[in-house]
Structure 1
Amino acid sequence: MYRKTPLFFKKFFCFLFLVLPLTASLYAQMTIGKPTFLSYICANSGFNSFEVQFTFNAAGVTPTNQFIVELSDPVGNFSATPTVLYTSVAGAVSSSPATLAFAVPTTTAGEGYKLRIRSTSAAFTSPVSNSFAAYYKIQDTPFSINNFVGNATYCIGGSYVLTIDNPGTGTNDSPLKYPSLTYNWFKDNGSTLPPTKLASAAAGSYTVSTPGIYYVETNYGTCTSNSYSNRVTVSASSTSGTATIISSKGNPFCAAQGATILSATAGNNYQWSNENGVMAGANSQTFSATVAGKYAVKVDFGGCQANASIDLQNVKFASSINVSDVNTIAPGESLETVVTTDALNPTFAWYLNDVVIPGAIGNTYSVTSKGSYKVVITQTSGCVSSSELPFIVNLSFDPNPFPDVADIPNIVSPNNDGVNDTWVLPQEYVSGTNTEIMVISAQGEIVFQTNDYQNNWPDNQVDFKNVTPVFYYIITTQDKKVKKGSITVFK
């Protein structure tokens, strides 16, 4: 028998039909809690790994879901495209709570960053985290200002500009090589008071107008770092300032090991000079010196000036020889020479008339002939360098005063070195041939004339007012044959 269903039950079933699907949908909806994180991030090249924790409704996660860690801009805004720090593998994170590790970009720098977590299936974005400071310390080592010169002077009423060195000396890792960095300048108030922060700036310089001790740090906000400079003591002067020069490799220095950096007292302008005068273009606080010598610098402090100089010496070793500068031996005799030196691992090379003597490599040598000698001593360890000891050996008499030469020489060098000391003529013109020898100065004066030439001109008759005086000769033989020419005399 058919019964009608009461109206109440019809309405109840209709309610269940509508409510149950809605309840299931609400139960399966994805939700992500507010991410939690440490209070700050201080990353560098040696450490850049951090973790964020969050909870989520695991029932709403599909097998293809990915969680994405996003970073705001430095003031906490996500309005622009956020920075993706990490994206999980699809389906890899399925249980709550979860922890994800990430690294920050090298451009990270600010005090107000925030994080959020985003899921892809179902799509949902978490509330943002609390704000935090975050910095990637791209430069995290000490650096220099004023090339490590610890003192600077300016004139009263003026100022002095402190500058970060770029690149600076040695292995200095200048922060100016990283354009994204900014800096905090400080005045040091001593050990009992905290330093005074003077300015924050993107430029690597700061103008000082009061005396004090100053330094600069790379601006990494809340993070501490090793990116800080040396301290410079700045003074004011009412008269001319005081300037000094410091050699980076000391004085004396080893030229064989490269240049030494000469650093002047810090000022506003500089002009370097050496023994030859002002050096064009040498207008920096430092000068790279490759050779020994006298150097000077004029430092302008902005209204007052100071001069400084240094006699830069090369590292030397001591050497001596047991003979005089000029020595005389008889034909057939020998001169025993001995070199004494404190050079490290020395080598020796002996020369006669600027030609190396084969096999002469010890610190002793037996001289048996006249000539111009020298021994070159080389230090082969430590600062590699050389020095030479010259000496001259003459014969008490020349057993062959009339050697058989082929041509009339046009050069004479009367310096007692045993080579071309006198004007030596072919045998057909010398003593016993009755040949007239006449030497005439450039002014037309006869300075030498003989019919019995002994190969002895100029015999100290030359006046070296000119560096290389020139003379003219006329040779007339017994049978009236004439030879003419010029003679250049070198001292």
Structure 2
Amino acid sequence: MLLVLGSVVSYGQQKICLGAIKTYKVDELENSGNGTIGSTYTWKVVENTFVGNIIPDRSSGNIITINWENTPIGIYTLQVTETNSCGMSTQEMTVTITQNLKVDLEPIHYFCPDFKTMSIKAPSGYDDYKWFDENNIEVGDTDTLEISKPGKYRLEVKSGECTASAETDVVQVEFPTFMISTDLDNSIIIVNSGGNTDVYYQLESENGKIIFPWQDSNTFRNVASGKYIVRVKSKKGSCLTNFEAEAMIIPNVITPNNDGINDLWDLNKFLKDYPNSVVEIFDRFGKKVKTISQADNFKWDGRIAGKPVPTDNY
């Protein structure tokens, strides 16, 4: 009588995971799979901490299925006794129940706008790896998965008889839309809207010198006049983008009284390289009183409908 696990000879040892369901056989090549003619087979797990079910698959009992269910972690002795006219004989094997496998995988990975591909790395130490996409198509079989598009991915790992799985959602990072604003103290202010990530900002000179290192604030204050590079890093996935900005010292007074001094607010020299710029002027109550653009050559004479605006802060 030879005790086997499935169709593989056990040689007396087996490791399984908590709650495993396994098939065990003896004399399966005899009597059309029913064991030795005239023999009956009795199975038991010796230890009283066994709390599973033994289910016969043949009336003779030579093939069974054991659902180990909630049997605790530990070492168990599985015995099968064959009884026939010649007497009784017993075989046994040791079954070790181990903790179920777990695999930790970041639930979200971020696919940056400039990526053509990206890698997802699984923890090391497993015997086998398989990756599947959201259509359940196998897309990888190592601990590192190379992907070329966002989506849902599932990892299945195996060590010995134990398996575990985890999923991750690969999300395309969308940067906000950025608009540059300046104010009278020579600040560069980045106004953003939309997107699916918060960002950090860094200000550099045109030749790459860092003026302000990475910061949460969208404002760089008291910046010398000139052109700059604003670098942006997403808080989700550390994706990068950049754009140009310029700090300007804008004249802050207009006195339209025809005395030849500050009669005209002239922004043309500041905005000639930015033909799509729009300048909006508000009174101190927040009411918009004037809009100037390239159509006005970015100039304003301080008048509305031919009359000077009242002396005030704007």
| TM bucket, shorter chain | 0.3 to 0.5
Bigger proportion of residues as helix = 1
Computing the radius of gyration over CA atoms, which structure comes out larger, 1 or 2? 1
**Normalised TM-score (structure 1):** 0.28
Bigger proportion of residues as strand = 2
